[in-house]
Amino acid sequence: MAVTRLTDVVVPSEFTDYVVQNTMETSALVQSGVVARNAVIEQQLQAGADSFTVPFWNDLADDEANIASDDPAVTATPRKLTSEKQIVRKSFLHGSWSAMNLASELSGDDALPRIQGRAAAYWTRQTQRRLIASLNGILADNVANDSGDMVVDISGETGAAAVFTASAVIDTAGTLGDQMGGVAGIAMHSDVYRKALKDDLIDTIPDSEGGMFQTFRGMAVIVDDLLPVDTGAYTSVLFTPGAVGWGMTAPRVAEGTEVENLPGAGNGGGQQILHSRVNLAVHPSGFQWNEGSVAAESPTIAELALAANWNRVVERKAAGVAFLVAKIA
């Protein structure tokens, strides 16, 4: 029986393009609009250095307007426009899979789509894990350095007061002040989602393409079991549109996809290894990467979750995320 091998079906440049274009396309985070692909990030991923700076203008200060007069001796003093900067950290990542195990499974006409789908799904999961770790990091930084003004933690209350409810979600959105009406999505653990379903808080409505999606009081629902759970306390995250920017590209120098041949492996039967490499950045808007604790060339998922690596550089309501910590019973 003929066996489809990786070298028979993989065209490296096309494979890399497929992985980059399809990663997160079907992710609820992207479909909800809270995570937006960012052209500036992707351009910088192809440049040198392990991080880059994104400057931005602050809004005009709300100082009282001048009272005009007809006295030519009184001259108005112009106010200045200030700026800040966000530092975005790049990650240089690699995954590889052995063809010995894949060869028999991937035999047949549909070999390439199967391989591509596996790789794209892997990078989707990796990207979401790195995003959630980053959210954990900015949550930890907020509690440590900004008095927890982005967090509503009711998990320490007694009885029903500690439990996830629509009212608690509203209070969490309220940490955004007059921007609370812009909340577009809520990410929750499946245990919280199950409680919300039982409480009849989830609506299922059709989308423009004939599919269905779910909302919580008008917010897109993202269910992810990577969200933190600590002794029965579940963290849910609220997002405004475009609260997180992300980019993914092939490496600038190394090949994004390579197939390695090891003819001596398997006692001469041969082995092939598919290598997939990406440059990735996932960055919550309004925060700066500090490089406070990174041991290697790129931050690990655990390091992304450290408070020491993050700092908010905008006022509270300009940072489009909020956190609710609550129990489910």
CA distance 29 to 188: 11
Q: Which two tokens stand for residue 86?
A: 């966000």
pTM: 0.83
Q: What is the mean pLDDT of the chain?
A: 87
Position 119 pLDDT exceeds 80: yes
Task: Label residue 180 by pLDDT band (50, 70, 90).
Answer: very high
Position 57 pLDDT exceeds 70: no
Position 82 pLDDT exceeds 80: no
> pLDDT at position 1, please?
43
Average pLDDT over residues 269-289: 90
Q: Name the pairing type of β-strands 151-153 and 321-326.
A: parallel
Position 260 pLDDT exceeds 60: yes
Average pLDDT over residues 150-154: 98
- What are φ and ψ of residue 147, in 5° steps? 60, 20
> pLDDT at position 206, please?
77
Nearest Cα to Cα of residue 7 among 112, 114, 122, 120: 112
pLDDT 10s digits, 191-201: 999 999 999 99
Average pLDDT over residues 256-275: 85
> pLDDT at position 183, please?
94
pLDDT 10s digits, 206-238: 766 566 778 898 898 989 888 999 999 999 999
